[in-house]
Structure 1
Amino acid sequence: MPQRKRGRPTAQERAQRRDEILDAAVRLFVSEGFHSVSLDDVAARARVTKRTIYAYFGSKTEIFLAAVERLRQRTLGLAGSEEDALADLAARIVLALHSDEAIGLHRLMIIEAYTFTDLAQRFYQDGPESYIQALNERLPQPDLDRARALFTLLLGEPHRQRLLALRPPPSPAGARAHALEALRQLGLDGGVASS
């Protein structure tokens, strides 16, 4: 890692430092468990001071939720607008939620849910619930039950196998094929152009 310059960081440097802290924290949480990792551990892994972590996040819980939010932003933020095709959004959700990072966060949340019930609730709101809402907004006729069914199919058995480390993450083409099959099963494939 290059030596950091002294003085007030630029916005780009702050964003990069924030990502570095999140990357370090996610790796630690996944390998050691949320409860076992201290802010000192995160600071040491990210090569920042504990004070820097407090300036960006404030607590371990906020770091975890920021990682969930970052994943959501990377997935839904690319969507651009509500005109974004449902198939494109569905494929991005498959690719993101079957990724190593998302699988690690999901496994961690399953382990910690009984101990950290508030964290589990916020994980669900900031994660699955937001993806379901984004899908619902792009359905030809919004229907929350149908959006939930689509989200369930976008995870499905392949996601369970990912959680159990029985299969690798999908390629972009594999994620798109998975998404198109989910749309077909719900009769939402009319007018979907294949890429």
Structure 2
Amino acid sequence: MHEAPTADAPERRRGRPPAAEREGRRDDILDAAVRLFVRDGFEPVTLDRIAAAAHVAKRTIYSRIGDRTEVFLAAVERLRGRALRLSPTAGLEELARAIVLTLHSDDAIGLHRLAIGESHRFPDLAVRFYDDGPLSYIAALRSRLPDGEADRAEALFALLLGEPHRQRLLGLRPAPDAPAAAAHARAALSALGLPATEPEGGR
């Protein structure tokens, strides 16, 4: 698909858009950026290309998100937000399922591959990817572990990735559906002797 060459694609409308439209435009920018990053890598993807693909002005990306690194990290943060956007009463198993679904998704796998592949050239990007990604998930798991079990958060996170995640990175298996993610989460919890309970009303 041919992308418009201009860096200053016209805005959809003049004036300050409402909050819902601003959020939608941010998603458009991140969707376009993820597609380009996953397909072409980090270095070849410029803000000009992201702006053209998202049909926004380059200055819009700068003002709302920042430079290319901030766009990449905003995409990582959006994934984290989707995974951790649970009700305050959500338990450990529900969080574990959400993490499996999110981190084994096509977008997350693509961004993970990119972070690994570019880590030697952009070490700061790798550090911030780890801090904004894995460390945040580990902290969320730790907050829901039973008293005295908080030190198992890293082990649980590792199991929620495991061999299936390695196979995803290598393109050897598809993303899990909801039942498969639930089974993976329960197996990880069981392996550590942690409680796995069905949510109220079942699945």
User: What is the TM-score when the length of structure 2 is the normalising length?
Assistant: 0.90
1:30 maps onto 2:42 in alignment = no
1:80 maps onto 2:111 in alignment = no
Query: For residue 122 of structure 1, what is the amino acid of its counterpart?
Result: R
> How far apart, in 1, do the equivalents of 2:53 and 2:149 lie?
44
Q: Which digits, 9 at most, give the CA deviation of each residue in 1:54-103, with x for residues without a partner? A: 111220000001000000001102x232x311000000000000000000
Unaligned residue ranges in structure 1 (runs of 5+): none
CA RMSD of aligned residues (A): 1.4
**Equivalent in the alignment of 1:92:** 98
8 Å CA contact 1:94–1:155 kept in 2: the answer is: yes
8 Å CA contact 1:30–1:108 kept in 2: the answer is: yes
**Equivalent in the alignment of 1:20:** 28
| Segment drifting more, 179-188 vs 114-123 | 114-123
Query: For residue 114 of structure 1, what is the amino acid of its counterpart?
Result: H
1:6 Cα deviation (Å)? 2.7
Among 102, 107, 118, which residue is 1:112 paired with? 118
> How far apart, in 2, do the equivalents of 1:123 and 1:5 lie?
34
> How far apart, in 2, do the equivalents of 1:18 and 1:140 lie?
37
**Equivalent in the alignment of 2:71:** 63
> How far apart, in 1, do the equivalents of 2:87 and 2:195 lie?
21
Among 49, 66, 82, which residue is 2:57 paired with? 49
Q: Which digits, 9 at most, give the CA deviation of each residue in 1:94-125, with x for residues without a partner? A: 00000000000000000011111111111101
| Matched pairs, number | 190
8 Å CA contact 2:160–2:185 kept in 1: the answer is: yes
User: What is the TM-score when the length of structure 1 is the normalising length?
Assistant: 0.93
1:144 Cα deviation (Å)? 4.4
**Equivalent in the alignment of 1:129:** 135
> How far apart, in 2, do the equivalents of 1:9 and 1:170 lie?
37
1:131 Cα deviation (Å)? 0.3
8 Å CA contact 2:101–2:177 kept in 1: the answer is: yes
Could you list the structure 1 runs, at least 4 aligned residues long, displaced by more than 2 angstroms after superposition. Answer: 3-7, 142-145
Unaligned residue ranges in structure 2 (runs of 5+): 1-10
Query: For residue 184 of structure 2, what is the amino acid of its counterpart?
Result: H
Indicate the structure with greater helix content: 1
